[in-house]
Amino acid sequence: MNTTVLATGEALAPAIRLAERLTGATPGEVVLPGHALLSVPQVLMIGSPVLGGQADADLERFLKSVCSRLSGVVAFVLTVGSWPADARVADLLRKSCLVPAGAVCPAPGLHLQRRGGTASIARFAAFWGPALPALLDIGRRARSAREYEGKQS
């Protein structure tokens, strides 16, 4: 399974841990905003610190620049810091880019406080991990349908 982590700051380590727990393997690629996304992953873990409802601006710009390549990718969002309502705003902003591009975003974003989070990561992965094979199949079908539509127009 091809997994990429796109994260910044204090969200990088938890995003890698969550990707490992969800997929059972180390991510194949860890990308920081401003670097090139080398391959289109099957699973994309997006991690961002949030402060007062404001997500990392560099991460937002980078995500918008690669959104067109994410059709059929299964994406998960993790935020660290701030209050849960603020984290939800960041989650919705990311999904407003991902979903129209054809990414599969099945889960609500996982919000972690600045300290800890190990138990939350374990619970999230225990819930969503078993569904991952079916989600990957949905992603493959979505990508195929989008490619077919592109050839028809």
Largest CA distance in the chain: 50
3-state helix, strand, coil in the chain (%, to 5): 50, 20, 30
End-to-end CA separation in angstroms for the chain: 31
**pTM score of the predicted model:** 0.86
Task: Show the CA angle centred on residue 103, arms to residues 70 and 107, nearest 5°.
Answer: 135
Contact between 46 and 7 under an 8 Å Cβ cutoff? The reply is: yes
pLDDT of 84-99, one tens digit each? Answer: 666 676 677 777 888 8
- The pLDDT score that the predictor gives to residue 149 is 77
pLDDT under 70: residue ranges of the chain = 38, 51-56, 82-87, 89-90, 153
Specify whether domain 3-114+127-152 bears CATH 3.30.2350.10.
Answer: no
pLDDT of 1-25, one tens digit each? Answer: 899 998 888 889 999 999 999 999 9
Structure tokens at 112: 């972690």
Domain boundaries, the chain: 3-114+127-152
Q: Which residue has the tokens 């997500």?
A: 55
